[in-house]
Structure 1
Amino acid sequence: MTTRFPHLFSPLRIGGVTVPNRILSSGHDTVLAEDGAVTDDLIAYHEARAAGGAGLIVLQVSGVHESARYTTHVLMATDDACVPGYARLAEAVHRHGAKVFGQLFHPGREILESKDGTAPVAWAPSATPSERFHVMPRAMTEAEIHEVVDGYGQAARRLREAGLDGVEIVASHGYLPAQFLSPHVNVRTDGWGGDLGGRLRFLREALRGARDQAGPGFVVGLRVSGDELSHDGLDTGLVLEAVALLDAEGLLDYVSVCAGSSSSLSGAEHIAPPMVRSAGYTAPLAAKVRAVVGVPVMVAGRINQPQEAEQIIADGRADACAMTRALICDPELPVKSAQGRVEEIRACVGCNQACIGHFQLGHPISCIQHPETGRERRFAALPTVTRRKRVLVIGGGPAGLKAAAVAAARGHEVELHEAGRRVGGQVLLAERLPGRAEFGGVVTNLEGEARRAGARIRTGSRIDAVALAAAAPDAVVLATGARPRRPHLELMDEPVVLDAWSVIRGDAVLPRGRIVVADWRGDWIGLGVALHLAAQRRKVTLCVTGFAAGEHLQQYVRAAMLAEAVRARVDIVPNVRLHGADADTVYLQHTLTEGPVLVEGVAGVVLAQGHLPVTDPDPVALGIPSDRVLAVGDCVAPRTVEEAVLEGLTAAAAL
């Protein structure tokens, strides 16, 4: 046991199971299931986290009834044919000493999609609509309620037969059990509604069914939002009353506490809280639950570092900590923590782009910092090279740093040259914007990995023909990045027009008065610069080419930033493209009608109009054979950190 984190690395008894430590990967969608079944990719994904030292793996939701298919890639536990797949997964996790639980799930009215694109019929306690997904459900019949309740028990039996150690019933985030419990959603007047006893009946019978059908010794827990933090959601008082009753009846082996609700935009943000939320901010909710139950309590909510988890457990606010996105970003976080290698932990920055962002786009899970995630079978164990090459990396942004780290780790002799004073590329700009300081951790993590792997990093070093010849590389990784794009504009009377980079860096001073931010992409740059200027008490109009500001951001990140923009009184004009400007007017064109749109009384314009690749130097033109040059990141085509890091990994894997 490590002396630095004695609470975190002590065993925990949950029902009839002993978990080796207090770090868990909580249930989260991966889009690695196929036709409702476990796949080799899903097994490899969870095995990597078990091998990295997590004490408990909680699988993504398993549907308990055919009406529970809320996405086309949900796991299903509705047929005995599922047992062999779950058994292979359980065996892989157990191989490393970890325990594994399944999640038993029905979304109720929170339906996202159907297999053929038609709108499915959503079941709920009552015909109360979901605000976020604009779904009007159908009130369940008594027979349907009994069917679904029986589904929880049947699914629990199957997962026990597969060798799992337990299950948890998902009553969090406004899903079906929470809908039955909610007086706002459940307006039934029969035995499944009315007072608390009636509204709690569905969850009580689901728990009892899981216990009865799975048999003794099998863990049955509950996941619940300590507060749904939504205008019509469950509040803490009601949740505490419900869990206390269920625990008193002996139905719970543990409670896993989170926050938020899927049913509203403001509540959904807490499903995977963005970086604006503080570390462990849900721990007070877990502490309140722990005070009214006699079973272990787990907590989830931006717990990224072992010291945060240790403190939560030491303070008695929870018995175990879900470090789910932290484990997505660094599967080896537990073993690094146990061995005192905390400085080597690749810290999650809460960007949400490739984890839950991928899920919401229907793509397999990954991580912008660690693209090996979700691709374990391809990249997790790259072989050491048999022939060492001299590898020259030109450019120290995320793409270059990842290429250098992986190439050096494989045994190549790697030297990275960055023309600027610091490595990091555009991340050094992003971290300066309001609420995005944590994003700078991407550079800290990648640079640390490259240096620990043995790559030599030289800053303030620009590669030219002489330097290239002196390096005599066997391979060149070109990662020279991008520069701001300035489109052709009709300008009169010398208006002040600056690019976003110079404004963020503070290189230029904008005149007093209203500033228009012209945003072509709809990502963090335009919206972030608008918030940056608003924080300086500037009047800001954000003009976006798309239907909404932040259109290309993950929806929880976008929601948090848009909420801040509303509070800062940023004016947003959608569906316009920039045409020109004069001394006090910005001329735009509506993207739908092609008609003119004017913003008057303007003192200056800030351009967030995308980027152009930087292709200088050209190693091929300087004499390096083209088959020895690998271009990665924005110098190929300007995109995001995710693509840059993935291409750096792919290039290094090919060397």
Structure 2
Amino acid sequence: MSNDPLLQPYQLKHLTLKNRIMITSHEPAYPEDGMPKERYRAYHVERAKAGVALTMTAGSASVARDSPPVFNNILAWKDEVVGYMKQMVDECHDHGAAVMIQLTHLGRRTRWDKADWLPVVAPSHEREASHRAFPKRIEDWDITRIIEDYADAAERMQSAGVDGIELEAYGHLLEQFWSPLTNDLDAPYGGSLENRLRFTMEVLQAIRDRCGEKFIVGVRYTGDQDMAGGMGKDEGLQVSHMLKNSGLVDFLNIVKGHIDTDPGLTDLIPIQGMRNAPHLDFAGEIRAATNFPTFHAAKIPDVATARHAIASGKLDMVGMTRAHMADPHLVRKIIEGREDDIRPCVGANYCLDRIYQGGMALCLHNPATGRELEVPQTITPADTKKRVTIVGAGPAGMEAARVAAERGHTVTVFEAADQPGGQIRLTALQERRREMTSIIAWRFDQCTKRGVQFHFNTFADMDTVLETNPDEVIISTGGLPHTEVLEAGNELVCSAWDILSGDVKPGANVLVFDDAGDHAGLQAADVISETGAKVEIVTPDRSFAPEVMAMNLVPYMRNLQKRDTTFTVTWRLMAVAKEGNQLRATLGSDYGGVTRERIVDQVVVNHGTRPLDDVYFDLKPLSSNLGEVDYDALSTGAPQTVTRNPEGTFRLFRIGDAVSARNTHAAIYDALRIGKDL
């Protein structure tokens, strides 16, 4: 038996968990019609196959019709959920993984105009900032029916064979009763801490009455809301003891903070550039004080930190949830002594941010996550070995090289720069986003292990490519900034890339025209404002940086709002002209014939990129497919079989920003979909 603390079994009541690593409850928004169907099942089974001890589903499954999810969650109040859950549970059990599910009533953390348009309920009329609904103050009959809803949902899950359930408290209805900020009820459900916990205890008792003493039940809650007037650390510790002493709970799952605002959510679930494991010691304090089974997850992305959490006795089970989105085979690689092969979570939070935008959770640099039905998490060797030539070593090119090498092909990569990385190199120059370099570093390491030949400082043209006598050619040359968007004065502006690279020094009074709305515009503004410059960010959109999603926006705002920064929405930069040694910027509006002017000393334009595609078009007439991609095959995971030029000696594909300006995930996804069948 291994002496690795992470690989020791853990006994939770009657349940033996085979190691100390878990995936905490989260909702990747993969359900269909509120049910965990094939996509949902494939996602959890993939991780079960690789050795995780416990996978928690849902984040959270709704127990009641008047708790409509604001994104695509499991509906635990429907009887039909039992069959779908049972199939997933049985498959995970076949691989030795335990399965639990998190249940909740959202209370005010939803909207009245979702699903059946029922009133939002809470123990006060106080609105949650994030979801904006003004709740109805809960009545006695609401309490009675919701307790019954919890018990019904728990019974359904028990029928499905889950190993246990977890009640979500923080931010949801249970904690809304706990916190003085959200509970202004009179006794017996308001006032003293004991009264504020009464509803939770009645829910737990109803579940016990329905499901019995042997059924495993836990609570995920904050031990400290960390907000003025809220439930502080002292009350949180009292809650911890009360839950333990109730005899109704089998484990505690600890978080710290509040989630009613984007900044609060981001502090509770930290992202890129924020400290790793910031609440681990806090969770350890609660475990030490209660001597009770304690789980925890919050930016524990690496094995060393997870191992410390267990070895130090701070936790009984350590959650590595986003880490498992990046690499579902994390546990297997630990067991096999291949920790250096683990694809690292870079904290980009593309997973969480996407669900709040109405999409499904995706990992920025593992496009197979959530798509296990269409594309593989493990690349299989090809029957026929080929020569694959790749031009460009940004994220698209590096993924293409990795996948082709894992297929067993002979791979050659040409890169004009002196190292791989492409646009990610610019992003990672800022300290807060340096974790992004791991996207490239991991792929470079995987390629090096498989013998990929890299030629840096090489601007590959058609002849360079043809000299490699390729069977497959992939063009991943990316793009260059497009700034020629003005009626006049295009020559007087610089690009966001110019600022990020350091090729152009920031001015003292700067207008940043952001017509792409992605990270580059805000990151350039951040870099400029850090020098003490005055910055105005202008966008024609009705909100700024719409491509930078909620939690990723938080660090930018914390920097920019401390500085001399102004945000101007619904205005478009029309022209720039010389005004002595200054610049006169003319703004217009898409809404009507009005203009404004600004006098500044620098104008920065962020308008995406245009493809750097000359070598692609030079090679196109010589290729067997004439560069054509079968989109039906690409979309469904089938191989590419297009032949348009039988005389062609190689197939040609163009991926990433060499096609059009998109993002890192799109570039890597292109490469995986094309490369997996080469």
Shorter-chain TM-score bucket reads: over 0.9
Cα distance in 2, alignment partners of residues 154 and 571 from structure 1: 52
Tell whether the 8 Å contact from 2:10 to 2:17 is kept in structure 1 after alignment. yes
Matches within 5 A, 1:18-37: 18-37=16-35
| Aligned counterpart in structure 2 of residue 413 of structure 1, from 405, 410, 415 | 410
**1:648: Cα distance to partner?**
0.6
Tell me how large the CA RMSD over aligned residues is: 2.1
**1:495: Cα distance to partner?**
8.6
| Aligned counterpart in structure 1 of residue 166 of structure 2, from 157, 165, 168 | 168
Cα distance in 2, alignment partners of residues 231 and 593 from structure 1: 44
One-letter amino acid matched to 1:527: L
Number of the residue aligned with 2:632: none
**1:556: Cα distance to partner?**
0.7
**1:431: Cα distance to partner?**
0.5
Tell whether the 8 Å contact from 1:272 to 1:556 is kept in structure 2 after alignment. no
The Cα offsets for residues 272-307 of structure 1, whole Å up to 9 and x where unpaired, read as 422132110111321232133231111111100010
Cα distance in 2, alignment partners of residues 465 and 440 from structure 1: 30
The Cα offsets for residues 207-266 of structure 1, whole Å up to 9 and x where unpaired, read as 222223222322111101233344564332222211211211222211111233332232
Cα distance in 1, alignment partners of residues 515 and 443 from structure 2: 29
Structure 1 position 304 matched with structure 2 position 327: no
Cα distance in 2, alignment partners of residues 113 and 617 from structure 1: 54
| Aligned counterpart in structure 2 of residue 207 of structure 1, from 199, 204, 217 | 204
Number of the residue aligned with 2:661: 638
Task: Return the TM-score normalized by structure 1.
Answer: 0.94
Task: Return the TM-score normalized by structure 2.
Answer: 0.91
Number of the residue aligned with 1:141: 139
| Larger CA deviation: 27-36 vs 380-389 | 380-389
One-letter amino acid matched to 1:349: V
Number of the residue aligned with 1:568: 563
Tell whether the 8 Å contact from 1:110 to 1:262 is kept in structure 2 after alignment. no
The Cα offsets for residues 178-229 of structure 1, whole Å up to 9 and x where unpaired, read as 0011111111114222221111011111122222322232211110123334
One-letter amino acid matched to 1:41: R
| Aligned counterpart in structure 2 of residue 503 of structure 1, from 499, 506, 513 | 499
Number of the residue aligned with 2:54: 56
SS in 2 for 1:606: strand
Cα distance in 2, alignment partners of residues 593 and 559 from structure 1: 32
Tell whether the 8 Å contact from 2:655 to 2:671 is kept in structure 1 after alignment. yes
Number of the residue aligned with 1:102: 101
Structure 1 position 467 matched with structure 2 position 490: no
Number of the residue aligned with 2:672: 649
**1:411: Cα distance to partner?**
2.5
SS in 2 for 1:597: strand
Number of the residue aligned with 1:88: 87
**1:47: Cα distance to partner?**
0.9
Number of the residue aligned with 1:629: 652
One-letter amino acid matched to 2:105: H
Cα distance in 2, alignment partners of residues 153 and 233 from structure 1: 28
Number of the residue aligned with 2:575: 580
Distance 1:570 1:218, change over 3 A: same
**1:114: Cα distance to partner?**
5.3
Gaps of 5+ in 1: none
The Cα offsets for residues 323-344 of structure 1, whole Å up to 9 and x where unpaired, read as 1101001111122223332221
One-letter amino acid matched to 1:90: V
Tell whether the 8 Å contact from 1:522 to 1:545 is kept in structure 2 after alignment. no
Number of the residue aligned with 2:362: 366
SS in 1 for 2:7: coil
One-letter amino acid matched to 1:649: L
SS in 2 for 1:508: coil
Number of the residue aligned with 1:539: 534
Distance 1:231 1:526, change over 3 A: farther
Tell whether the 8 Å contact from 1:518 to 1:607 is kept in structure 2 after alignment. yes
Number of the residue aligned with 1:127: 125
Tell whether the 8 Å contact from 2:353 to 2:552 is kept in structure 1 after alignment. no
Distance 1:161 1:42, change over 3 A: same
Tell whether the 8 Å contact from 1:272 to 1:356 is kept in structure 2 after alignment. no
**1:168: Cα distance to partner?**
0.7
Structure 1 position 328 matched with structure 2 position 319: no
SS in 2 for 1:599: strand
**1:39: Cα distance to partner?**
0.5
Tell whether the 8 Å contact from 1:520 to 1:608 is kept in structure 2 after alignment. yes
Cα distance in 2, alignment partners of residues 2 and 445 from structure 1: 26
SS in 1 for 2:283: helix
Distance 1:654 1:113, change over 3 A: farther
Tell whether the 8 Å contact from 1:527 to 1:549 is kept in structure 2 after alignment. no
| Larger CA deviation: 358-367 vs 371-380 | 358-367
SS in 1 for 2:284: helix
Distance 1:150 1:294, change over 3 A: farther
Number of the residue aligned with 1:559: 554
Cα distance in 2, alignment partners of residues 12 and 226 from structure 1: 24
SS in 1 for 2:247: coil
- Count how many residue pairs are aligned between Structure 1 and Structure 2: 647
SS in 1 for 2:101: strand
| Larger CA deviation: 120-129 vs 82-91 | 120-129
One-letter amino acid matched to 2:477: T
Cα distance in 1, alignment partners of residues 483 and 365 from structure 2: 29
Distance 1:412 1:64, change over 3 A: same
Percent identical among aligned pairs is: 28
Cα distance in 2, alignment partners of residues 359 and 507 from structure 1: 36
Tell whether the 8 Å contact from 2:112 to 2:133 is kept in structure 1 after alignment. no
One-letter amino acid matched to 1:327: H
**1:398: Cα distance to partner?**
0.8
Cα distance in 2, alignment partners of residues 112 and 330 from structure 1: 34
The Cα offsets for residues 393-442 of structure 1, whole Å up to 9 and x where unpaired, read as 11111111111211221222222211211111100000112521111211
| Larger CA deviation: 332-341 vs 107-116 | 107-116
**1:617: Cα distance to partner?**
0.7
| Aligned counterpart in structure 2 of residue 347 of structure 1, from 344, 349, 354 | 344
Distance 1:652 1:216, change over 3 A: same
Tell whether the 8 Å contact from 2:111 to 2:120 is kept in structure 1 after alignment. no
SS in 2 for 1:617: helix
Cα distance in 1, alignment partners of residues 358 and 391 from structure 2: 34
Structure 1 position 77 matched with structure 2 position 104: no
Cα distance in 2, alignment partners of residues 549 and 316 from structure 1: 45
SS in 1 for 2:525: helix
Distance 1:164 1:503, change over 3 A: same
Number of the residue aligned with 1:183: 180
**1:575: Cα distance to partner?**
2.1
Cα distance in 2, alignment partners of residues 47 and 464 from structure 1: 45
SS in 1 for 2:561: helix
**1:591: Cα distance to partner?**
3.6
Distance 1:446 1:592, change over 3 A: farther
Tell whether the 8 Å contact from 1:230 to 1:267 is kept in structure 2 after alignment. no
**1:119: Cα distance to partner?**
4.8
Matches within 5 A, 1:170-569: 170-172=168-170, 174-231=171-228, 233-270=230-267, 272-353=269-350, 355-380=351-376, 381-489=378-486, 497-511=493-507, 513-569=508-564
Distance 1:229 1:585, change over 3 A: farther
| Larger CA deviation: 422-431 vs 68-77 | 68-77
| Aligned counterpart in structure 2 of residue 38 of structure 1, from 19, 36, 39 | 36
Cα distance in 1, alignment partners of residues 109 and 664 from structure 2: 31
One-letter amino acid matched to 2:468: A
